[in-house]
Structure 1
Amino acid sequence: MTFEKNTELDQANLRIIVSSCAIVYISALGFLPGHQVGTYLPVILYYIVFLLASIGFRYVIALWPGHYPARRILGMVHDYTGTSFGLVVGAEAALPLYAVMVWINLGNGMRYGSRYLAIATGLALLALMIVYWLTPLWQAQPFMVLMLMITSTVIPLYAHLLLERTRKASEEAVAANLEKSRFLAQASHDLRQPIHSIGLFTACLREARLGAEERRLVDSIDRSLLNVSQLFRSILDLYTLDNGRVLPRYQALNLGDFLADLARQNVEAARWAGVELHVRPCSFWVRADPVLLTTMIQNVLSNCFKYGARRPVLIGVRPRGKGLAIEVHDQGCGINKEHLLKVFEEFYRVRHQRDKDVEGVGLGLSIVKRVGQLMGLDVAIRSRVGHGTSVCVYGLVRVKPPHNLNIQGDVYVAGLLTGLKVCLVEDDRNVLLATQALLERWGCVVQAESTGLNLVSDCDVIIADYDLGNHATGIECIEHVRQQRGWAVPALILSGHDAEMIQAQLHECQIAILSKPVHPTELRATLREFSPSPLNAE
């Protein structure tokens, strides 16, 4: 939810401050040589009444916020009346109050726009004419009055030109930002598809009977693809954070299971880096967004694999204050003290000798810091050169384990996928072929479809792309098959679109979502959780 700034309330606050300063100024005049307090007493009393009226006016604005043109114009009249009274009664000594007129004029224009600037300018000129008519001193100085009137006209005119330029620049910036958003959304989808299909084809090669040299080449391809995928996701994460589109979705989370699963997902990356990845078991439950927390810890682990290669990495949980902290320790080259305060800045990288082959652009820890702020978590880092680095994510709130824990041992498949009947719906031919080939190597029986129109299937699991062209979405395809079968067939959406947008359309459909590019181990782990028979038939 976004809140519009109450500019009228800001103007009311400033009115109270300015009127208080005016009371102090007029009061001080009475103590100057040649002046008497009694001369300025009517002005002081009037401004005290003016201040009380301004406080009441502010209360009304705070109680009934919104755009009320009549109230805004009434505020201008109130301001000009008070200023004019001071100028008339205070005579020559009150001339500095003219600056208040300029503030009223520009303040209303800058806050409310050019239309109100024009109204304020007209009222200012009228107020000056009234002061001139009522003040003999001003009548004796016609050129001074002419100068004040010209000033009251030229300054608002210049402010109007600036406002127009600012408005046009703002509109151009908004249009450019929208265009950038559309471009990045489309580029994100289009780039995810080939990365996703290359990853699946590589996984197919890995499943084949390869010699040592061929397996080494496949490992090299996979490592390079992983680096591209991580960089791609970092840039998209940063873009999503900049647009303010990320909102935490909290749930009770078993930290022990969460970290163990994260370690399993990083087995291959750790093997390529020569890292022994250790997770200290724990049984704590916390309130957190598992997706955002995964993003944080994954970025930390990626840095460990880059800068702590061929050395062990330890992940553990320990109490810290009233909450819990996740700590990741590596035994890499470490970071000098002068760099520690800068490592959370975007695109900042600590350079070491012979690290030109280390992939990355310095986004990982900045994303960790910003995602942590979304969830109210803090991130600390300590390091010793030559001994390693420790990153601590703390502030996790402990909760009690939920009562309705699902015991999945008897219901879900825990072993291989042999015989699992999969209906695969994907309109991108390369992705369709890659996914089908990989699933068949895992032992699945695959029904591959390039469209969801008039789909008939007796599958155990549906895997569908979200965007299936102009005819249907993956969600509609899944609902069609479920209606045909008469029970909630386990289903999975693979998509290169924004997962938050798709999640909002699912409601209570019980459909899993994986964002492309999907790592094969992640896909296999998800499929193993699906039942091979209609045990959950309705």
Structure 2
Amino acid sequence: MDRLFDHHAPPATPKDLQRRIEKLEKINAALVQRVERSMDQQANAYSLFQTAITLEGQVRLRTEELTNALARLERTNDELLAARDASERANRFKTRFFTAVGHDLLQPLHAARLSASALAEAGQDGRHRVVAERIEHALTTIEELLKSILDISKLEAGVITPTLRPVALDDLFASLVVDIEPQAKAKNLTLRWRRSGLGVVSDPLMLRRILQNLLANAVQYTEKGGVLLLARRRGDTVRIEIWDTGAGIGEADRDKIFEEFQRGAAVDRPAIGGFGLGLSIVQRMAEALGHPLDLCSRPGHGTRFSVSTPRSPTFVASGPKAPAAFVSSALGLAGTKVAVIDNDAAVLEAMQTLLERWSCEVLPARGLAGILGAAATNGPDIILADYHLDDGANGLDVVRALRSRAGTAIPAIVITADRTAPVADAARALGCELLLKPVKPAELRALILHMLAQSSPTR
């Protein structure tokens, strides 16, 4: 290029000019490309800037929306927590209410049953006895319904916590048969059980309630034949079975019968009573215990319910005792001194009337001080004590005091409407028998005879 402007240089040839032009074109093209790239970069930067601004606005909008959503969610959570707390309070109140009402209802029911039994035994003609038996039947129906309502309310509230321990099945079966046998005899049914020597791990009160409901259900739906209770070992489990020769359960009814207020196809038969709560309670208690429940049935032939429970590996089979052998007449109770402690005046009077019908000498009292005064010079042969007494005292306090004064372990029966495990454990630890209100007079009489016979073999 210098030669183009150098006047002393020889003139450039066309080739030189062509080369220089091409060189300038290349330089120009490079400069143009650089400028274009710079402009593209600036355009891209501007575009990115605009995009960033747009995204920032969107992020701010989404952040506001998310903040509002979180605030609404927090308010909803607070409302749900408040609703849950209210529901839990309502459940606790309902449970306390049913427990209190149940106890208050069981008290007069207990007194009514004792009075009805005394009336039946005192009846001089058949009409009075029939009336007394009808009263007894009505009281039994009320008792079963009340127990079912209490069981369902506690299960729904989740306040029943199983207390697992070894349970001797032979003792449990024999006791259950004593309870159910009157119903079976009234329908001319055979009620049998097989001794197995097996033990299981379960909650004794809940397991008893399950089997009691299943046995009562079997007797209720069986018109001829009988009911069989047995246990079979299956490896590490024990399957408890209840067989009946009833009408059976069709496929369509096998799921419905475990629902409340369902009684299957036999619902139209007027002889069937109750409200269809028994099997619902059975299923819920079995689930709470983790005991699988099974049903096998052939319409027209019969039904088998089974409950599978863990086998107790350390269980030692009990002796050949059988509570069914306790049943006896009132003979042998004449002159027996019985201390009766109950803070309910109606119950105390009804119990006194019944025991006097059995020719017993009754020492009644409504608390510890009263019975210590009554028994100061005339110690009892046996003690019947309500568990819950006034001023925070309980029947076990009375048992301890009377035994301490006598210097001997006087036989004692604790009678209560409290069905909780701690009460049963405390009574068992003190060597007392436990009866739940409302007490069946025949069961009470049989147990008194049995305990007196054990404490004094020569009696």
What TM-score does the superposition give when structure 2 sets the normalisation length?
A: 0.77
Aligned partner of residue 363 in structure 2, secondary structure: strand
User: What percent of counterpart residues are identical?
Assistant: 29
Change (3 A) 1:416 1:351: farther
Deviation at 1:353?
Answer: 6.1
Q: Any conservation in 1 of the 2:201–2:309 contact (CA below 8 Å)?
A: no
How many Å separate the matches in 1 of 2:446 and 2:205? 16
Equivalent of residue 337 in structure 1, options 232, 242, 251: 251
Equivalent of residue 448 in structure 2, options 527, 531, 535: 527
Task: Please say if 1:516 is aligned against 2:437.
Answer: yes
How many Å separate the matches in 1 of 2:133 and 2:205? 27
- Partner residue in 2 for 1:296: 210
How many Å separate the matches in 2 of 1:436 and 1:535? 23
- Partner residue in 1 for 2:387: 466
Which amino acid in 2 is paired with 1:515?
A: L
- Partner residue in 1 for 2:129: 215
Deviation at 1:444?
Answer: 2.5
Instruction: Report Cα offsets for 1:170-215 as digits up to 9, x if no partner.
Output: 2221221222122112101111012111211222233335444433
Task: Please say if 1:450 is aligned against 2:371.
Answer: no
Instruction: Trace 1:480-519 onto structure 2 (pairs within 5 A).
Output: 480-503=401-424, 508-519=429-440
Change (3 A) 1:267 1:190: same
Task: Please say if 1:251 is aligned against 2:172.
Answer: no
Change (3 A) 1:508 1:179: same
Change (3 A) 1:372 1:171: closer
- Partner residue in 2 for 1:427: 343
How many Å separate the matches in 1 of 2:315 and 2:66? 68
Aligned partner of residue 298 in structure 1, secondary structure: helix
Equivalent of residue 149 in structure 1, options 63, 74, 81: 63
How many Å separate the matches in 2 of 1:306 and 1:271? 12
Deviation at 1:155?
Answer: 0.9
Change (3 A) 1:512 1:533: closer
Deviation at 1:454?
Answer: 4.9
Which amino acid in 2 is paired with 1:517?
A: P
Equivalent of residue 169 in structure 1, options 40, 65, 83: 83
Deviation at 1:512?
Answer: 2.9
Task: Please say if 1:279 is aligned against 2:193.
Answer: yes
How many Å separate the matches in 2 of 1:295 and 1:150? 59
- Partner residue in 1 for 2:264: 350
Task: Please say if 1:417 is aligned against 2:338.
Answer: no
Q: Any conservation in 1 of the 2:241–2:305 contact (CA below 8 Å)?
A: yes
Structure 2 gaps of 5+ residues are: 1-48
Change (3 A) 1:161 1:256: closer
Which amino acid in 2 is paired with 1:251?
A: P
How many Å separate the matches in 1 of 2:82 and 2:352? 52
Q: Any conservation in 2 of the 1:463–1:494 contact (CA below 8 Å)?
A: yes
Deviation at 1:278?
Answer: 2.5
Deviation at 1:297?
Answer: 1.5
- Partner residue in 2 for 1:61: none
Instruction: Trace 1:84-483 onto structure 2 (pairs within 5 A).
Output: 137-208=51-122, 210-242=124-156, 243-253=158-168, 255-352=169-266, 354-397=268-311, 399=313, 402=316, 416-456=332-372, 457=375, 458-470=379-391, 472-483=393-404
Which amino acid in 2 is paired with 1:326?
A: I
Instruction: Report Cα offsets for 1:95-123 as digits up to 9, x if no partner.
Output: xxxxxxxxxxxxxxxxxxxxxxxxxxxxx
Segment of structure 1 superposing worse, 521-530 or 228-237? 521-530
Q: Any conservation in 2 of the 1:453–1:471 contact (CA below 8 Å)?
A: no
Change (3 A) 1:400 1:157: closer
Deviation at 1:324?
Answer: 3.0
Aligned partner of residue 188 in structure 1, secondary structure: helix
Which amino acid in 2 is paired with 1:425?
A: I
- Partner residue in 2 for 1:31: none
How many Å separate the matches in 1 of 2:258 and 2:318? 39
Aligned partner of residue 266 in structure 1, secondary structure: helix
How many Å separate the matches in 1 of 2:200 and 2:55? 76
How many Å separate the matches in 2 of 1:273 and 1:263? 15
Deviation at 1:346?
Answer: 3.3
Deviation at 1:405?
Answer: 5.9
Q: Any conservation in 1 of the 2:345–2:366 contact (CA below 8 Å)?
A: yes
Deviation at 1:505?
Answer: 5.4
Deviation at 1:388?
Answer: 2.0
What is the count of residue pairs matched by the alignment? 400
Change (3 A) 1:187 1:279: same
Q: Any conservation in 2 of the 1:346–1:366 contact (CA below 8 Å)?
A: yes
Which amino acid in 2 is paired with 1:467?
A: H
Q: Any conservation in 2 of the 1:427–1:451 contact (CA below 8 Å)?
A: yes
Which amino acid in 2 is paired with 1:451?
A: G
Q: Any conservation in 2 of the 1:460–1:489 contact (CA below 8 Å)?
A: yes
How many Å separate the matches in 2 of 1:488 and 1:139? 93
Aligned partner of residue 191 in structure 1, secondary structure: helix
How many Å separate the matches in 1 of 2:335 and 2:71? 78
Change (3 A) 1:522 1:218: same
Deviation at 1:350?
Answer: 1.1
Which amino acid in 2 is paired with 1:436?
A: Q
How many Å separate the matches in 2 of 1:481 and 1:406? 32
Instruction: Report Cα offsets for 1:245-287 as digits up to 9, x if no partner.
Output: 232342241x334323321222222223342222344444444
Deviation at 1:332?
Answer: 1.9
* Larger RCO (CA within 8 A; separation ≥ 6): 2
How many Å separate the matches in 2 of 1:404 and 1:348? 39
Which amino acid in 1 is paired with 2:409?
A: A
Q: Any conservation in 2 of the 1:425–1:451 contact (CA below 8 Å)?
A: yes
Instruction: Report Cα offsets for 1:272-305 as digits up to 9, x if no partner.
Output: 3342222344444444443322211110121122
What TM-score does the superposition give when structure 1 sets the normalisation length?
A: 0.66
CA RMSD of aligned residues (A): 3.3
Segment of structure 1 superposing worse, 210-219 or 475-484? 210-219
Which amino acid in 1 is paired with 2:165?
A: Y
Deviation at 1:424?
Answer: 0.3
Q: Any conservation in 2 of the 1:240–1:246 contact (CA below 8 Å)?
A: no
Aligned partner of residue 311 in structure 2, secondary structure: strand
